[in-house]
Structure 1
């Protein structure tokens, strides 16, 4: 966790996500949750929209990692996600705008979408300049990744991620600009006899598909399905109009 969140940005919220629901809550009242609280699947109330090419890179990497872990009979791993909410008071090292909050009550949607597209494009161009200069890129998969966090209508509604997909769920209209840090952690647990016993015992108390201790193949599929619902491809028409083709494939 310390290595993943080693950043100049302050991590405001952190989530440990497995794609399961049984016992997957921090069990803390809202007023006691702070930046040091590790939240879990049932506490998640965001869907993350990331730029299309980075979304494709994420899906490909998650698939490769899960295939490897499944082949090694590993399960019970998590995706650790850290969120930095952008605000007006902190310096911007990536050329992106400050924190934005949209209520959907005004008519500025098109202008706002245009501005967001410009900011993502600006960050991409800055990254390209650094790469050409032989420097480390500012934005990488799982580090310094700009995104839009769309707040879900109801907190702790795990079903919105697992039945029908987050893309079909209702939002409360709030959109926050964030910087994401994430990576797969806890990759040393194999599906041994203790985990098989845990699965059998918890299956008597809850839906077997909702518990964390399941066989590696089922775990891998459930994990990938869950990640594919909380991360969504964000299309940016402005990028296509500046440097892409007519169908927006570079957006």
Structure 2
């Protein structure tokens, strides 16, 4: 069944274009206030969706609210996201079913019909933090086109009749790729260093990633701009989501393709966690690709974006008893050519009085303060030092053009 608006309340097409929804879904518009200005960061627009999301085929009324639609439409255009395609993907039956059948209360949901987007379910306080941050976030993303910050495409609230509201944001899927992501990590600026596999066992991370020197410099410079923004916004406890594809393309050849002037610029340990497919890291002397399909190859297509399909060498390392990371031992470690995908996520944790008290109490109990209790400036420093160690200066004796 095609969708049609209730006749008396047809909106201006620029604000609420008449988009096709899922089959067997109808919608009618809710009377809203006067049309907001083009970049009004406080505007909202509402509509009703009629949709069947259960096995019985019962139609339910859903109230749907878009926040700052014009602002997010610009943010979509920055990343060449088609607004009509986006709206159709968000307001279809499969998306509503995913949101309201989330029995495990997972905060990050992947759309099975559109892997470009991740739905981040948030609470009221996180929504408030982001709305307050949105004007400066918009200017930051507009200024630094190669920002590593999470790319936000929409903020929505949906509520079934008689049910609970679900607030969610739509972000770019950092790990979207035509290549298989063999492993991914969630890296935070912390006084400890470990990663957690799917089984929940903790083990030391035993690899670093060596990039072309110019790429590393641009990443660290952009990271500084992004962390300065988060620090000024009072944000802490954010993460670097990093995915790794292991490939067989010669590293030097991949670097020659990736070395492009079109990129724009813009000792704390770290904690890493991986909730990807369970696998053994192995010993530092072990070839990191031994557990993976080594017949795969890396694409030689040039990417213009920092953090997307970046050629690197993953190198194992050992740790001394003092838990200080040591450099790799030449001749004993087999480097692996990889493509990396990464970006800064979880940027809605605002530093509060409660966090300050938590930081003080944890400091009294242990030599290592709670990562979530560190103030924004301290966390920014830890985080940047952490990432610089994950991407160390290149010391390979190869021709790195």
Shorter-chain TM-score tier? 0.5 to 0.7
Question: Is 1:140 aligned with 2:305?
Answer: yes
Correspondence list, 1:1-251, <5 A: 2=118, 3-22=173-192, 25-26=195-196, 28=197, 43-87=204-248, 96-97=249-250, 116-124=251-259, 137-138=302-303, 140-154=305-319, 159-160=324-325, 168=327, 170=329, 172-209=332-369, 211-234=371-394, 238-239=399-400, 251=401
2:308 and 2:234 map into 1 onto residues whose CA distance is 28
Which shows bigger deviation, 116-125 or 195-204?
Answer: 116-125
> Residues 76-115 of structure 1, C-alpha deviation per residue, up to 9 Å, x if partnerless?
001111111115xxxxxxxx44xxxxxxxxxxxxxxxxxx
2:381 and 2:351 map into 1 onto residues whose CA distance is 15
SS at the partner of 1:79?
strand
1:238 and 1:72 map into 2 onto residues whose CA distance is 42
Q: Could you say which structure has the larger radius of gyration?
A: 2
Q: Decide whether the 8 Å contact of 1:43 with 1:156 is kept in 2.
A: no
Deviation at 1:58, TM superposition (A): 0.2
Task: Evaluate the alpha carbon distance shift between residue 23 and residue 222 of structure 1 in structure 2; reply closer, same or farther with a 3 A threshold.
Answer: closer
Task: Evaluate the alpha carbon distance shift between residue 236 and residue 83 of structure 1 in structure 2; reply closer, same or farther with a 3 A threshold.
Answer: same
Task: Evaluate the alpha carbon distance shift between residue 23 and residue 60 of structure 1 in structure 2; reply closer, same or farther with a 3 A threshold.
Answer: closer
Task: Evaluate the alpha carbon distance shift between residue 67 and residue 12 of structure 1 in structure 2; reply closer, same or farther with a 3 A threshold.
Answer: same
1:159 and 1:24 map into 2 onto residues whose CA distance is 12
Which shows bigger deviation, 188-197 or 214-223?
Answer: 188-197
Task: Evaluate the alpha carbon distance shift between residue 43 and residue 203 of structure 1 in structure 2; reply closer, same or farther with a 3 A threshold.
Answer: same
1:46 and 1:177 map into 2 onto residues whose CA distance is 12
Task: Evaluate the alpha carbon distance shift between residue 70 and residue 152 of structure 1 in structure 2; reply closer, same or farther with a 3 A threshold.
Answer: same
Q: Decide whether the 8 Å contact of 1:117 with 1:236 is kept in 2.
A: no
Consecutive unaligned residues of structure 2, counting only runs of 5 or more, are 1-107, 109-117, 119-172, 263-300
- What do you get for the CA RMSD once the two structures are aligned? 3.3
Identify which of structures 1 and 2 has the higher relative contact order when contacts are C-alpha pairs closer than 8 Å and 6+ apart.
1
How many residues of Structure 1 are paired with residues of Structure 2 in the alignment? 191
Task: Evaluate the alpha carbon distance shift between residue 23 and residue 52 of structure 1 in structure 2; reply closer, same or farther with a 3 A threshold.
Answer: closer
1:66 and 1:122 map into 2 onto residues whose CA distance is 29
SS at the partner of 2:174?
coil
Deviation at 1:156, TM superposition (A): 11
Structure with the bigger percentage of helix: 1
